[in-house]
Structure 1
Amino acid sequence: MAILKHFSSKNADYGAAEKYLLFQHDEFTMKPVLDETGRLIPREDYRISSLNCGGDDFAVACMRANLRYGKNQKREDVKSHHYIISFDPRAGTDNGLTADRAQALGEEFCREHFPGHQALVCTHPDGHNGSGNIHVHIVINSLRIAEVPFLPYMERPADTREGCKHRCTDTALRHFKAEVMEMCHREGLYQIDLLNGSKNRITDREYRAQKKGQLALDRENAALAAGGQPPKTTKFETDKEMLRRTIRQALSHASSFDEFSSLLLREGVTAKESRGRLSYLTPDRTKPITARKLGDDFDKAAVLALLTQNARRAAEQTTAIPEYPHTQKGRLREEKAAKTTPADNTLQRMVDREAKRAEGKGVGYDRWAAKHNLKQMAATVTAYQQYGFSSPEELDEACSAAYAAMQESLTELKQVEKTLNGKKELQRQVLAYSKTRPVRDGLKQQKNAKAKAAYRQKHESDFIIADAAARYFRENGISELPSYKALQAEIEVLIKEKNSGYNDYRAKREEYRRLQTIKGNIDQILHRSEPQRRKEQNHER
């Protein structure tokens, strides 16, 4: 998965952002880490580049631009925007993502979505708190130094003009998240749906508070252990996390909202509803915490749905449940155990020792191959039995069925991608056509043909764009242009559909590869070659 974070800064010192990217900082205080001589400690590994700075230092280029346009001179002005794209820690080992590739993706993302802004793009291969995930920092000057085309996330003409400032609106952030998901799909990286929120919404502030509290608790437990005393607790919980746990405990027992409120009140928590939204007030606070700040599991719709489910389950449990016969009980228990048995992800192809010896492999490799084949033989037989195959021919049929399912899923995914690309192209043409509307209206105001010809020549580039968009609409049979919001809603729905389809395709592909591995190992165990299998199948017919 990859996630996107955004921070805005009012700090007039643009060099502070560059200093953070290049030198080590404390993860809690965000202050630079110094060595014994009081000097800054450089980060061990990073990639960094600047865009639209004209060969100058990033800080110098930003301050010159601010002075040239007379912007970002007040204390309350937002001076810069900081975006972070964090990739899954498994992306390096499973998908081959490197720091250089992540840096290239970050530069491409910056050029595409922040044109006209002076920017720093820096990639760190080491994640926060030693998590090891590759992440890319994109720091842009809030001021735009060049005229840019009207992009899908922009809402007003000032968003394209030179000398105006970048605005990170809710629409823009949703667009950026959708583009990050698209980038993960394109690069074959792990990803999650970033557009539908999260069950537990943990802010960066709460995350850092949890880490800081856990370190303090570990030090306290170490002191207790040194004194021979057992620790009271080993896991630190923030106030919001304790509130989430209290709400979940109440939800697990309540079957109505009144019962849910009374259970929370026993723990000192008051549940309030205002304007169709829930909030929770703890004894140590004067201002309630809204459900939106806790996560999607705690809003009104999710709470009422779970309470209804609990009430339905309680009603069903009042009816008598027939007892199964002993034999049927055992069969159901065996089926459940077979279904819940975890898949063996260590299954690998066996090595053809004769072919490797013919290639010149030595005795050491042959000994390793013999042990490897024994392990994979046992794993293959176990997997063969788990699937319930009774003959190699059933395995062949299962491989063919898995391949057909994978191809069907891929076809559906490609169709969704084609539709999505078409909607994006239509959105681009609609935006281009709407941007030229003032120029087209100006042509109607010209009084004679000579004035119209001079006007068209003066605004030739705009009319070329408008004519190209109109030609696109005619070729695709579009007589009435859809609105931007409607197109954006359709694109987001298609992105969600593509996200689900991609996950389905990946699961079916892994299943097909696993069956292929079992099939190859079974063929090697039984010494079945491809011509031999064809001969056996023809003989059976």
Structure 2
Amino acid sequence: MAILKHIASKNANYGSAIDYLKYQHDEFHLVPVLDESGNMLLREEFYLDGLNCNPETFDLECELLNQQYHKNNTYDEIKSHHYIISHDPRDNADHDLTGERAQAIGLEYAKANFPGHQALVCTHTDGNNGTGNIHTHIIINSLRKSDIEPQTYTERPIDCKAGYKHHLTKDYLKHLQKSLMDICQREGLHQVDLLSPAADKITQQEYHAQRRGQLNLDIANMELLGDGITPMHTTFETNKEKFRNAISDIAERATSFEEFQRLLKAEYGILVKDHRGRFSYLPADRQKFISARALGSNYDRDRLLRIFAENARNKERNNPHLAADDPMAILFIKSDLRLVVDLQTCVKAQQSRAYAQKVKISNLQQMARTVAYVQEHGYDSYEKLSDTTDAIQSKMAKARSGAKFTEAKLKKVNEQIRYLGQYLSTKSAYGDFLKSGNKKSFRQAHAEDIAKYEEALRILKQHSPDGRFPTMKDLRAEKEQLTIQKDAQYDTYHYFKDYHRELQTVCANVDNILGTEREARREQQQSRKNEHSL
């Protein structure tokens, strides 16, 4: 299970990289381990080589190259790139992986993927804080030392020339991952698919935060146990891990996005929005949404919608009487089905024979997809398909009506907030007006504030006939709730709208298919009549 990590460093001290590779370090605090005399301790086992440089003078050679091309002089420039190949601990026993063999793999990998760069290749056998997994560090100067031949992963001519910097793109990173997978497969080592998104995406920062937190929690629990107290928590969770657990907990119970949204807000205080085909989450203590991509593929839109659909089917099987009352009893995932083109009305197809042939092939594909869609969704008759389309249209209209109603309520609440603020800001001026001896002159001097107060008072009484005005806090809480409700209702409306549009496409294609079959039968019958007459 070799994995590849990448770290971009802006540290101008290249010598610190050599120190890290050669000497023992405390990974939790990222500081060297010192002996009693204050000297750094060499690692017990490591293998160090250099590419296009002497490993002992890597720092000096990098600085000279930077001076030659006048690069890496400013604080915010990336000075080096650090790649880490971490092998599965099982490879040690299962496949006889040793430090020498891992170093040879690292050297081969660095030569193939970072040509022209000054690089340090170093293999450690102690793992991260003694975990035991063999891993190889590849540290390259961000500036290229010599020209190279164009490679499959290079995008620009300058990516092959000396004096230009290492340019890591998405395609380049995929190439690096694919290259590592190929080498591990060739060597018979444990390997996972690095090109697929991680189910739980844990960054380097989160990984170290979790380890530090767990260590601190273990120390605190040992103190509690020493005092005879049983600790309440034994496992430390980062904030992102708490979000993942909360999302997983609600996803196991929700049968629709609206229910998922409501329960996540009610039980964990986390807002979720569906924007541009992606889910994003906002905890109560943050100002910025966290994308599902940052949490892992287990929390993205497509997977969760499939889970909701499965939960709804299970709920329907266990409680058949609820199916008729559940507005989301039938869930769908949008397909790429398109309308069949009518060649009789397509002007471009009539003008171009080649285009007409292309449309015919496309029509055949769409017809096949339509037949597969009908079979997959169990539409055993045209009437059932038509009835489902009408039912979804009705649900769409109902969802839109509910969203419009909530939108109207939200508009009234916004109006109340506006006029309550206006009322509170001018209340003191109106109080002074009531206390003044010469009200006429006071009104003339403060005509605008008094007019705003009276206007706000009139509007608020219209909303509250009993004369009891709501507080600003209550209005804002109601506004937040109505906003969430409105967004959820519009999501439901768009859901049914997409569903209805897809069913309309299916109906149109089915009509076209049936019409084509009828036309073919008529032509066949006419041909038989002609043969019989002859």
1:287 correspondence with 2:300: no
Contact in 1 for aligned 2:26/2:129 (Cα 8 Å): no
- TM-score between both structures, scaled by the size of structure 2: 0.59
| Residue 317 to residue 129, structure 1, CA distance change in 2 (3 Å) | farther
Residue number in structure 2 paired with 1:298 = 299
Distance 1:286 1:54 in 2: 49
Deviations for 1:63-114, whole angstroms, at most 9, x for unmatched residues?
1111122221222211111100000000010011110000011011111111
Question: Which sections of structure 1, spanning at least 5 residues, go unmatched?
Answer: 321-541
Alignment of 1:132-531 (within 5 A): 132-266=132-266, 267-318=268-319
CA contact (8 A) 2:55 2:120 kept: no
Instruction: Give me the whole-angstrom Cα distance separating, in 2, the residues matched to 1:65 and 1:283.
Output: 49
Q: Tell me which amino acid in the other structure corresponds to 2:132.
A: G
The 8 Å contact of residues 2 and 190 in structure 2, kept in 1 or not, is answered as yes
Superposed CA offset, 1:139-196 (max 9, x none): 0111111110111111110000111111111111111001111011100000000001
Match of 1:5 in 2: 5
Does the C-alpha gap of structure 1 residues 242 and 55 become closer, same or farther in structure 2, counting only changes over 3 Å?
closer
Q: What amino acid does structure 2 have at the position aligned with 1:134?
A: I
Q: Aligned to 1:58, what secondary structure does the other structure show? A: helix
How many Å apart are 1:317 and its aligned residue?
2.3
C-alpha distance in 2 between matches for 1:5 and 1:168:
13
Larger radius of gyration: 2
Q: 1:236 to 1:56 in 2, by over 3 A?
A: closer
Q: Using the TM superposition, name which of 159-168 and 64-73 deviates more.
A: 64-73
State the partner residue of 2:47.
Answer: 47
Partners of 1:291 and 1:309 lie apart in 2 by: 20
Aligned-pair CA distance for 1:54: 5.8
Match of 1:129, SS state, is coil
Q: Distance in 1 between matches of 2:301 and 2:101?
A: 43
Q: Which residue of 2 aligns with 1:490?
A: none
Q: 2:422 is matched with which residue?
A: none
CA shift in 2, pair 1:116/1:223, >3 Å: same
Return the alpha-carbon distance in structure 1 between the equivalents of residues 47 and 94 of structure 2. 22
CA drift at 1:212: 0.6
* Counterpart residue identity of residue 113, structure 2: H
Structure 1 SS opposite 2:317: helix
Deviation for aligned residue 1:22: 0.8
Rounded to whole Å, the distance in 1 between the matches of 2:216 and 2:153 is: 43
For residues 56 and 96 of structure 1, the distance between their equivalents in structure 2, rounded to whole angstroms, comes to 30
Query: What is the rounded CA distance, in whole Å, between the counterparts of 1:32 and 1:288 in structure 2?
Result: 37
Q: For the Cα contact (< 8 Å) 2:292–2:300, is it kept in 1?
A: yes
Structure 2 counterpart SS, 1:57? helix
SS of corresponding position for 1:181:
helix
Q: Which amino acid aligns with 1:49?
A: D
| CA gap 1:54/1:85 in 2 versus in 1, 3 angstroms | closer
Letter paired with 2:258: D
1:411 equivalent in structure 2: none
1:274 Cα offset (Å): 2.1
Show CA shifts across 1:416-474 (max 9, x none).
Answer: xxxxxxxxxxxxxxxxxxxxxxxxxxxxxxxxxxxxxxxxxxxxxxxxxxxxxxxxxxx
The 3-state SS of whatever aligns with 1:245 is: helix
Counterpart AA for 2:314: R
In structure 1, the partner of 2:390 is none
Residue 131 of structure 1, CA deviation: 2.0
Counterpart code for 1:289:
I
* Equivalent position SS for 1:193: coil
- For the residue of structure 1 that corresponds to 2:4, the secondary structure is strand
Q: Which amino acid aligns with 2:19?
A: K
> CA separation in 2, counterparts of 1:168 and 1:24?
30
Q: State the alpha-carbon separation in 2 of the partners of residues 274 and 28 from structure 1.
A: 38
Equivalent residue for 2:19? 19
| Amino acid across the alignment from 1:311 | A
> Distance in 1 between the 2:148 and 2:21 partners?
28
Amino acid paired to 2:138: I
Distance 2:165 2:273 in 1: 40
Tell me how far 1:294 sits from its aligned partner.
0.6
Cα deviation, residue 301, structure 1: 1.0
Correspondence for 1:463: none
The CA deviation string for residues 501-538 of structure 1, in whole angstroms up to 9 with x for no partner, is xxxxxxxxxxxxxxxxxxxxxxxxxxxxxxxxxxxxxx
Question: What letter is aligned with 2:212?
Answer: K
Question: How far is the alpha carbon of 1:273 from its aligned partner?
Answer: 2.1
User: Is the Cα contact below 8 Å between 2:292 and 2:299 reproduced in 1?
Assistant: yes
TM-score, scaled to structure 1: 0.58
- The code of the aligned residue for 1:152 comes to T
Listed as ranges, the gaps of 5+ residues in structure 2 are 322-534
Q: Aligned with 1:107: secondary structure?
A: helix
Amino acid in the other structure paired with 2:253: H
In structure 2, the residue corresponding to 1:97 is in which secondary structure?
A: coil
Letter in 2 for 1:160: C
Question: Are the counterparts in 1 of residues 2 and 86 from structure 2 also a CA contact under 8 Å?
Answer: yes
| Alignment RMSD (CA, Å) | 1.4
In 2, the alpha carbon distance for the partners of 1:244 and 1:210 equals 14
The Cα of 1:275 is off from its aligned counterpart by: 2.1
- Stretches of 4+ moved more than 6 A in 1? none
1:26–1:55: structure 2 CA closer, same or farther, 3 Å change rule?
closer
Distance in 1 (alpha carbons) for counterparts of 2:94 and 2:296 = 30
8 A Cα contact 2:143 2:163, kept in partner: yes
